[in-house]
Structure 1
Amino acid sequence: MAAIATAINVLGVLFLSHAVYSAYEHSLLPSASTPSMLSHSLLPASLDPKITLPLDITLETLFSVLLLCAGMVLSCADLKPIQWRAWAGRLEASQEAREVKEVGVGGGNPYQALEERVGFWDISGVGKATRGWMDGGGDKKGKGRV
């Protein structure tokens, strides 16, 4: 599949290069600098094109862009699952993914470093400690509770 995607990308680049070169050569022609009458009525003067390209150059450009898009989509890696549990389960089940190859690469849970960092504040632990303090620290009628 990678060979097909590479071939499509190469064809797309060749067609796009030819279309750009053709547009440049067409812009040098004296007859190309006459704008169409339709463009004056629809576009403001700052956006009015000074050169009208022939249909074949426009179609070649669009075709090359479509080829490049298809080649990029075919050459990309497989998509990851959207559900966290499916992705994390597959990642943690593989022995290869659990091996730490270098800093920041591998090791199972990619968020493990965030959870174990020095400044991480565990809200549930603080809540338990606060409830214990409030239950034991207030009087029996409940005046000390919030």
Structure 2
Amino acid sequence: MAWLSRPLTLVGLVLLAHGCYSAHEHTVLSSTSAQHSTSPSTAALPLDIYIETAVATFLLCVGLVLGSGTLKPIEWHTWAGKIEREADRSLSGSGDADGTTGNPFGALEARSGFINIHKLHEDFVKYSQQVGK
């Protein structure tokens, strides 16, 4: 269905642009005619502009949904297991230098801990006091 999604989206975009342009032109024409007449008139948009806009929005939604990829699993263990299995097949025994291949959170698990700035400052103050003696 991927071959159908692009034409549907394109037709939807063209119809939506035409509907927006028609609504703009109708508003401009009704405001200029109201300026020249003695009685104020507020003309509502014609029904065909509403229908065109609704059909264009529907076609855009259908085209975008048909063109979207497959959905990912909601459950984390299913998703992570799938990634690890794919990585094992593609690597066939060779891993990255940091050993995080196949694990979606491997980079987070392999990183070093946080630096304690206050502890480093205290150590520096103690060191500077010892060197200053």
Q: Measure the CA separation in 1 of the matches of 2:110 and 2:10.
A: 46
Q: Does 1:113 align with 2:133?
A: no
Deviations along 1:54-111, whole A, 9 cap, x unmatched?
A: 111011111111111111111111111111221122221122388889xxxx932221
- Deviations along 1:13-32, one digit per CA (max 9) or x if unpaired, are 11101101111221122377
Question: Is 1:12–2:4 an aligned residue pair?
Answer: no
Query: In the aligned structure 2, how far is the partner of 1:97 from the partner of 1:24?
Result: 58
Unpaired runs of 5+ in structure 2? 35-40, 115-133
1:82 aligns with one of 49, 58, 74: 74
Name the counterpart of 1:25.
25
Q: 1:4 to 1:100 in 2, by over 3 A?
A: farther
* Alignment partner of 1:53 out of 3, 25, 45: 45
Instruction: Give the equivalent residue in structure 2 for 1:66.
Output: 58
Identical-pair percentage? 43
State the superposition RMSD in angstroms. 2.8
CA contact (8 A) 2:19 2:49 kept: yes
Higher helix share: 2
How many equivalent residue pairs? 101
Greater RCO, 1 or 2 (C-alpha within 8 Å, sep 6+): 2
**Runs of 4+ off more than 3 Å:** 30-33, 96-101
TM-score normalised by structure 1 residue count: 0.59
